[in-house]
Structures are given as C-alpha cells and as structure tokens.
Amino acid sequence: MGKLENPILTGFLKGSGVDAAPTAFSSILKTFIEILLLGGVIIFIFQFLLGGIKWITSQGDEGKVKEAREQVTQALIGLVIVFLVFFVLKVIGIIFGLSWMETLQLPLPQLVS
C-alpha cells in the first residue's frame, strides 16, 4: 500500500522541518487573500446587476431610481476599493521583498480562444 497524503496540504508544504512552516503559512495566506479578492469581485457583480435590474424595473419612480443609482454607485466604489487593496498588497510585497506577495494574482476567469 502507498502512503496517504492530504491533497490540500501537498501543494503548500514544499519543504520539511523548520523551513516548511513559513512556506506553508505564506502559501495559505496568499490563497486566503486571493479568495477574498475574488469574493469582492463576485459581490460587486451581484450588487451591480441587482442595482441595474432595480433601475430598469423602477418604472420612472424617482425614489426607486435614486435607490438603484446609489446601489450601482456603491458597487463601483466597492470594486475600486478591492482593486486598491490588491494594489497596496502588491506594493507592500515589493517594498518588503516578500516574494509570495509579488506573485499575488487576482484569480479572474479567462476566456479561452
């Protein structure tokens, strides 16, 4: 029989002994940050579409139009904040020489041609 390994931790633990802990922690933290950034983008898309639908279905009611416009504006402001956080994290990684922060990527789906 072969040795059983946890597939989640196999990619994180690249070394062994004392050197494995910082590598595992930085990989887990990087993945956590990427998931949070992706979650922020997904929330933006949901809020933006919901605000757009409210705007379309407002039937000219000024109160509903104003509420929908505010929701769309707040969604856009939230997206700007998400990208600013992403930018600041990348800059911090470059300034302090954190190689795992330099490779931080916003995991957006890509179209395959």
> What does the pLDDT look like over 51-90, one tens digit per residue?
999 999 998 899 999 999 999 999 999 999 988 988 888 8
| Confidence bin at 9 (pLDDT 50/70/90) | low
| Whether the predicted pLDDT of 94 surpasses 60 | yes
Written in H, E and C, the secondary structure of the chain is CCCCCCHHHHCCCCCCHHHHHHHHHHHHHHHHHHHHHHHHHHHHHHHHHHHHHHHHCCCCCHHHHHHHHHHHHHHHHHHHHHHHHHHHHHHHHHHCCCHHHHCCCCCCCCCCC
Which tens digit of pLDDT belongs to each residue from 16-34? 554 555 667 777 877 888 8
Please count the structural domains in the chain: 1
Task: List the domain range (segments joined by +) for residue 93.
Answer: 41-105
Residue 33 lies in a domain: no
